[in-house]
Structure 1
């Protein structure tokens, strides 16, 4: 027998919600065939089968949140030599520490009788997310995509038909007497209107998954790190003009791509902000890689995908990677590799209209810069003349245990120098 357990599929993961099983008891499965879909604090992930065989038991029902190390289902594995070797390798990868295994297991799931399910459902995680939001059983839908893949349009069409049928049934069920009763207010013996509990009770939002993990990490950061926020302004007039020149010759590069590249260059000169404090061993570890996290707003909450080795990428390559990661974040398709190894984080909130903030550091990093709204304003330039310039505000939060205010000012000044002077880029941003 092989126990398939919830293992750590993302950095810092401690628990996950079981949102869908691809198999049922009695199904035969192959090695690496998807068995279960799990919602972690950062992504939706599919857990593959570590061996070929038959599903003997499903231990945890879908909709349950369990900790890492919990047994989800049990396989009766085939005793072939190849399968045995692969199974041992898989179990070594997924085996949790004994202390992480719960002392009690959830009750086995009850299998629905008389209802056949598709054994293989082809649908992207984002499509499954839409289905869950509309409370749609994806097994009831016939996919119109390639090889029967279920698309988002299939979900919407199914919901439209379902709602039409439901509305028709409800209209037939409502009698003239019930309609009249609805019009009459419910009153007590003194003639005062009495409202039912549903009318007075506020809406409830589940506090779990990504939102719960965000809360834990923000609390850990705020109560562990003595935050200091340094505010600064940068003149983007020349940068924006340079971007327009590039656009005219067919090159589209976002301003944020230049920001990321400039930060990578500045971090090499001020490596203390590309560091992590190890209090236990009493050392500040200066990271060798420059991996910039991009704070990204999604429907499920804040998430920080990583642009790895930003110092080795061109501005255009950073722009392309930024677009790719943002799209994957919005569609809930980020992989563990997309979220690991960050050394410094940026937050571009200017497009939302922000003019300032005191951001919370992405623990255990040392610094974070937030870019706020860019607006045109009169500025005193050379010879005391007044000119209209495009000024962006920014705020940098840093760990005062690791760095001091003067170092933070020097770091942001270097960053400003790079983004305010396009003439430096052929020399500096390579």
Structure 2
């Protein structure tokens, strides 16, 4: 079965390239890391190697054509019987058709399948979210050789928004994992290969230093001799990007390696015979030891949710004029009612926290102040008002801050809101929030009180117009109507608003209405639909 090779991202910002030279033809047998084509970007000429052994079945472009990143560039049949048939056909037709040097070498390095072959299908990483072009491999749930069934989760990947589980599309055996944990995978490229046929048995892997009988016969029947490996040209190292990467990982100087490929090209197997990195000299060993430097550092890349949070927060404060407003809420009555309802619904298996009350009360207030549920466009020329109150909750997770939102709160009961709070909180803490739950928020609630904060200046979750941060609830002394001092449950709500469409009076009046619902929960229950 033929598998398309998707042209990968070959440089930052590069979306297309020109085909400079095909180094193979349709029907040629190739091996892993063999260079298939040279392409030219606006920066350099790049060699594109094969990712596995097989037979070239289709070249989608001609020399001089423009190929697009993310589109198929050639097709390769990775089934073992195709390789075997190609080698057999080459032997039979050698006398009739002259064999080129390239074909002789391809036959020399091609593996010969001895038994039934598997049908291996590449799983192409799909578009897993609007605007997502890459993701990080968080965890492989399987290993090469494992059997999987349809819809079984194969891998967890992390985008800039959430951790997503990728399932298998069919039953089969995992024949190849193209990335390691922590690697960055690109949308549109193969993620893993799944063999859906019978697994193949031992596959011979002859090297170019000892050409197979097929290759030798092909060369001789054409009236020529097999070309022995040649050393690399002085000052120039021929090797594929994968070989160069492996050499870097093993600290091998490629200029010291004898290449066994055509014109001295260095292959993967040549690295195993490469000289080990030189040890520290005796003179250096005998020199006085240098005292270790105190206070080391550790640098790691910004990826996934943390990276997108950094970008969006920077953009928010640079483009939205923030202003802050804070007010104390007396939640004594709400906490008394919550305690009764919490115990009652716990017997029914419902976990009722204070957050559903905050969210539902906010929705009631938004109905009276629609500007708080509006958004300004990028040009600051239009305001869009939303009928649905999609209220977001900022949740600290193992992968960074996530803000899933509850859709259409105005249509939900208090218990329905509680169920959504529980679902989204659990998903967020596992880093597995569905993309749909992250989109379409209209206003956000952040709860710094869970970690002990009281007052803060939150940053607006752009393009929303406002965000509120809830402080911790404290029992503080307050004067009663008769002048006595009593303990009351006090919480501070800290607002940040977009001063382009919300003024101080609006946010103060909106907050006051929200406060009334929370301080007098019976009033909230009365107007609730």
Q: Normalising by the residue count of structure 2, what TM-score does the alignment of the two structures yield?
A: 0.54
In 1, the alpha carbon distance for the partners of 2:525 and 2:495 equals 26
Preserved contact between residue 11 and residue 339 of structure 1 (Cα < 8 Å): no
Question: Which secondary structure does the structure 1 equivalent of 2:497 belong to?
Answer: strand
In 1, the alpha carbon distance for the partners of 2:333 and 2:175 equals 66
Preserved contact between residue 372 and residue 392 of structure 1 (Cα < 8 Å): yes
Q: What does 1:83-122 correspond to in 2, within 5 Å?
A: 107=242
Match of 2:317 in 1: 222
When residues 12 and 288 of structure 1 are mapped into structure 2, their CA distance, relative to the original with a 3 A threshold, is: farther
Residue by residue over 1:181-223, the C-alpha shift from the partner in whole angstroms, topping out at 9 and shown as x without a partner, is xxxxx9986xxx84335x5422334422222121111111111
Question: Which secondary structure does the structure 2 equivalent of 1:373 belong to?
Answer: coil
Match of 1:195 in 2: 291
Give how far 1:370 is off: 0.6
In 2, the alpha carbon distance for the partners of 1:326 and 1:418 equals 24
In 2, the alpha carbon distance for the partners of 1:59 and 1:364 equals 37
Aligned with residue 340 of structure 2, among 208, 233, 245: 245
In 2, the alpha carbon distance for the partners of 1:377 and 1:350 equals 15
Aligned with residue 392 of structure 2, among 293, 300, 303: 293
Give how far 1:280 is off: 3.9
Residue by residue over 1:55-84, the C-alpha shift from the partner in whole angstroms, topping out at 9 and shown as x without a partner, is 898765653224545554678999xxxxxx
In 2, the alpha carbon distance for the partners of 1:76 and 1:249 equals 53
Residue by residue over 1:163-198, the C-alpha shift from the partner in whole angstroms, topping out at 9 and shown as x without a partner, is xxxxxxxxxxxxxxxxxxxxxxx9986xxx84335x
Match of 1:311 in 2: 410
Q: Normalising by the residue count of structure 1, what TM-score does the alignment of the two structures yield?
A: 0.65
Match of 2:128 in 1: 9
In 2, the alpha carbon distance for the partners of 1:109 and 1:26 equals 27
Give how far 1:275 is off: 1.7
Preserved contact between residue 137 and residue 156 of structure 2 (Cα < 8 Å): yes
In 1, the alpha carbon distance for the partners of 2:506 and 2:337 equals 30
Preserved contact between residue 327 and residue 492 of structure 2 (Cα < 8 Å): yes
Match of 1:282 in 2: 381
In 2, the alpha carbon distance for the partners of 1:13 and 1:106 equals 26
Residue by residue over 1:303-334, the C-alpha shift from the partner in whole angstroms, topping out at 9 and shown as x without a partner, is 11222222222222222221222122222332
Match of 1:177 in 2: none
Query: Relative to structure 2, which stretch is displaced further, 66-75 or 338-347?
Result: 66-75
When residues 386 and 32 of structure 1 are mapped into structure 2, their CA distance, relative to the original with a 3 A threshold, is: closer
Preserved contact between residue 59 and residue 109 of structure 1 (Cα < 8 Å): no
Question: Which secondary structure does the structure 1 equivalent of 2:472 belong to?
Answer: strand
Aligned with residue 160 of structure 2, among 20, 41, 46: 41
When residues 352 and 55 of structure 1 are mapped into structure 2, their CA distance, relative to the original with a 3 A threshold, is: closer
Question: Which secondary structure does the structure 2 equivalent of 1:356 belong to?
Answer: coil
Higher relative contact order, chain-length normalized (CA < 8 Å, sep 6+): 1
Preserved contact between residue 162 and residue 304 of structure 2 (Cα < 8 Å): no
In 1, the alpha carbon distance for the partners of 2:383 and 2:243 equals 48
Q: Write 1 or 2 for the structure with the bigger share of helix.
A: 1
When residues 58 and 350 of structure 1 are mapped into structure 2, their CA distance, relative to the original with a 3 A threshold, is: closer
Q: What does 1:20-31 correspond to in 2, within 5 Å?
A: none
In 2, the alpha carbon distance for the partners of 1:52 and 1:243 equals 49
In 1, the alpha carbon distance for the partners of 2:341 and 2:410 equals 22
Root-mean-square deviation (CA), in Å? 3.7
Match of 1:340 in 2: 439
Query: Relative to structure 2, which stretch is displaced further, 40-49 or 334-343?
Result: 40-49
Match of 1:355 in 2: 454
When residues 319 and 108 of structure 1 are mapped into structure 2, their CA distance, relative to the original with a 3 A threshold, is: farther
Residue by residue over 1:251-296, the C-alpha shift from the partner in whole angstroms, topping out at 9 and shown as x without a partner, is 5632211101001111121111212211348211111211111111
In 2, the alpha carbon distance for the partners of 1:337 and 1:63 equals 25
When residues 410 and 68 of structure 1 are mapped into structure 2, their CA distance, relative to the original with a 3 A threshold, is: farther
Question: Which secondary structure does the structure 1 equivalent of 2:135 belong to?
Answer: strand
Query: Size of the alignment, in residue pairs?
Result: 326
When residues 262 and 55 of structure 1 are mapped into structure 2, their CA distance, relative to the original with a 3 A threshold, is: same
In 1, the alpha carbon distance for the partners of 2:519 and 2:456 equals 22
Gaps of 5+ in 2: 7-122, 198-239, 247-284
Aligned with residue 425 of structure 2, among 316, 326, 330: 326
Match of 2:105 in 1: none
Residue by residue over 1:67-106, the C-alpha shift from the partner in whole angstroms, topping out at 9 and shown as x without a partner, is 545554678999xxxxxxxxxxxxxxxxxxxxxxxxxx98
